[in-house]
Structure 1
């Protein structure tokens, strides 16, 4: 009798069949892509990987969601590093975030951000009463008619000759078609600069503050006056005004202005929503600086926050009101 048929494994056919159909015990290793991996090691690697992933996700979410901002606009940690005295107005510290560590000045151009200052009247004559009319137009050339009221007025017009004499602070009126007009008399010939200082109300209800400037030539002999020497005291119509503080280039610093009338301190009255206003113009290009007064009564003076954009000489025009009359004290300031 012949031997039973055997399989290639060396088992007989029935034995091989039983071996094939019998359940196999669970192996101690896993095979993936030709690599044998121990299951215990695999579980440990997965746990460690999950912990590392959680840490990385937590760090990323922290970067995407910084701590809440404090009242100064800094994060809560930074805000607590620099407390301010009660009543201190909003201001910045250190170098202003702008190209070259300077702050932007206004009034250097007739247009900005799609809005343009467009004069509608010309032909001013030195020493003769005239009128200045203008519009603010959008990028499509349409007159703008929506302005926010800032310091009690929707439009502030500053006029000064290019040698920084003849300063005037005026408030034009707007017609329904967006045309502004104001009586204007310039005492002398020369090239005068008109600054329109306003805040637009945009289509989405937001606000955009602008200062646009334009030259107004007045024919005649022009003899520019030299700028007065730097001083901290000025007299005007029986009043003596003085300022104190240490202005710096690229940093916001307080300047306090005080007014005296002989041996007494007069009561400063609110004028255009504040106890004083300050305009600063830079000699040469006549750059216009926004200077903001701090809130509160003028007990011993009026404080402004000033940021000098760079070296040069500046002319300061301080408006104050006493007994219903507005006066302007003028100072020269030099930034080294």
Structure 2
């Protein structure tokens, strides 16, 4: 009788021990989709499509990284609205301040003779708004932000204001013969170190630096588009204190450069057109 009771106790302990081992080693690995639904995917890739050259920032629309941010853009009744969402349609709220702003919005018309550098305000999770009047025409917008822990590539967003004339022929950009521009009595000369594609290029701007003031935390800003406005570069000064910029043109073609400088309290935009071989 005692042997039977002892055997029963040993058998019961064996069953309990086996169930405990199973629970500890297997059950926790068999979570159902409902168990995992609250666990958000995390990315550690911080190599946005925002490259850095030296200490100057170089934002571009080229690159092979797949974007993890889906911006939506709308213009209606003189107001621009932008919404940033991730691939799961969640608002993108974790943005780095980039030259004093969370967002830089570049807008150009299809002739590339109208250029606007705008800073929409954040009004909610992932949502930015700004009132801005644009003339009738066709435009492209470039939403320049720097999300944390998400790949982002600046892509052109086309939109139309009003009812512009159809079948209008757009003349090709004509490269400048000289790189000297004067606006409001202020003269800027651009010196280019190389006109070859896929090689480092230094853009040095000669101007009256005695009246030069910091603009958005830097000595100036440079935005570059190719003729079709499909390739985008936003370059900041190499050392933030001097109007010297480093960049690279990945493809041959004609490009338009807008150089922005603040002198004696006023921001002026100096346009240049160059040919890259």
TM-score (structure 1 length as normaliser): 0.59
Tell me if 1:221 matches 2:168.
Answer: no
Correspondence 1:159 to 2:94: no
Q: CA deviation at 1:187?
A: 2.6
Displacement of 1:255 = 1.1
In structure 2, the partner of 1:182 is 130
Larger radius of gyration: 1
Superposed CA deviations along residues 75-98 of structure 1, whole A, max 9, x for unmatched, are: xxxxxxxxxxxxx9458xxxxxxx
CA gap of 1:267–1:209, structure 2 versus 1, over 3 A, is farther
Indicate if the aligned counterparts of 2:120 and 2:129 stay in contact, CA closer than 8 A.
Answer: yes
Report what 1:212 is aligned to: 155
The equivalent residue for 1:311 is 252
Is 1:232 matched with 2:176? no
Q: Over aligned residue pairs, what C-alpha RMSD do you find?
A: 2.6
Matched, 1:106 2:106: no
Map of 1:117 onto structure 2:
71
Task: Indicate how the Cα distance of structure 1 residues 259 and 209 shifts in structure 2: closer, same or farther if over 3 A, else same.
Answer: farther
For the pair 1:133 / 2:81, whether they are aligned, the reply is yes
Contact residue 95 and residue 146 of structure 2 kept, 8 A? yes
1:293 paired residue among 233, 237, 261? 237
Corresponding residue of 2:22: none
Aligned residues: 218
Larger RCO (CA under 8 A, 6+ residues apart): 2
- Which SS does the other structure have where 2:155 is aligned? strand
Query: Equivalent residue for 1:330?
Result: 271
CA spacing shift, 1:313–1:287, aligned 2, 3 Å: same
Give the 5 Å matches for 1:228-307: 228-230=174-176, 231-247=178-194, 248-260=196-208, 266-295=210-239, 297-298=241-242, 302-307=243-248
2:171 and 2:114 map into 1 onto residues whose CA distance is 11
- TM-score by structure 2 length? 0.71
Change (3 A) 1:112 1:252: same
Given that 2:221 and 2:234 are in contact with CA atoms closer than 8 Å, whether structure 1 keeps it comes out as no
Q: Report the Cα offset of residue 240 of structure 1.
A: 1.2
CA distance, structure 2, for counterparts of residue 270 and residue 285 of structure 1: 28
Q: How does 1:22-101 map to 2 (within 5 A)?
A: 89-90=54-55
C-alpha distance in 1 between matches for 2:154 and 2:255: 18
Higher relative strand content: 2
- Superposed displacement of residue 177, structure 1: 2.7
* 1:35-60 superposed Cα distances (whole Å, 9 cap, x missing partner): xxxxxxxxxxxxxxxxxxxxxxxxxx
Residue 130 of structure 2: SS of its match in structure 1?
A: strand
Q: CA deviation at 1:188?
A: 3.8
Distance (Å, rounded) in 2 between the aligned partners of 1:275 and 1:281:
21
Q: Note if contact 1:107-1:213 (Cα within 8 Å) is conserved in structure 2.
A: no
Take 1:160 and 1:137, find their aligned partners in 2: how far apart are those partners?
Answer: 24
